Amino acid sequence: MGGVEEEIVVECYPLRVYTRNDFYMNRPSLSMRGKEFFRHIYHPIEGPHVLVNQTVVQEHTYECNVPLPASAMRSIEHLQQSIAAAEPPVNERIINPQFMHLNETWEEVVHVLSQHVNNTGALTGRDPFMVEAEDAFGTIYLIREENGWRSGDWRQYQPPQDEETNCNICGDDITQAPGDVFLGSIDALTYSTKHAF
């Protein structure tokens, strides 16, 4: 069998936009958390690629809560400028140096988050909001059928396991996210909300 290919990626996931209906706030703000994940993708010779496993490390690689200027409420352009100016220092945003050379830039984060806020209708021009999001730093293992691999062979390339972690709220074991929970999906948002610390 041929080797397993590895890729590293950075993905941004808006989680929620909070308004005064959720809790009192007097100015807009940005709340970002970094997460690390491992994803195994099976590439069959024919047919679509298949996500066979994903593990999300529960410990955050970084957290930042940044107040934004009041001008961020005026328009999507002002919001983009405000988020662009709120970029965390590189040494705070990324713990693992292997991600430093990626092309993913803060400008992409700015675009994703500002579009999300705009799509929720929170940009009223007068009401503050808080946008909550996750930076996901991932290692992807590509297992190709043409190299002699089968989909179940991903188990030979599992990431290092943390000690068992239980949710502080419900007591569930959350050491690994289920294989069918994808970052960015509705199930992932439900999972991350249920197991928020």
CA distances from 109 to 13, 25, 96, 175 (A): 9, 23, 19, 27
Asked if 183 and 136 count as a contact pair (C-beta separation under 8 A), the reply is yes
Domain ranges of the chain: 5-147+165-177
Taking only the tens place, the pLDDT of each residue in 24-83 is: 888 999 999 999 999 988 888 888 888 888 889 888 888 989 999 999 999 999 999 999
Taking only the tens place, the pLDDT of each residue in 124-160 is: 888 999 999 999 889 898 888 777 766 566 566 555 4
Task: Report CA Rg, the chain.
Answer: 19
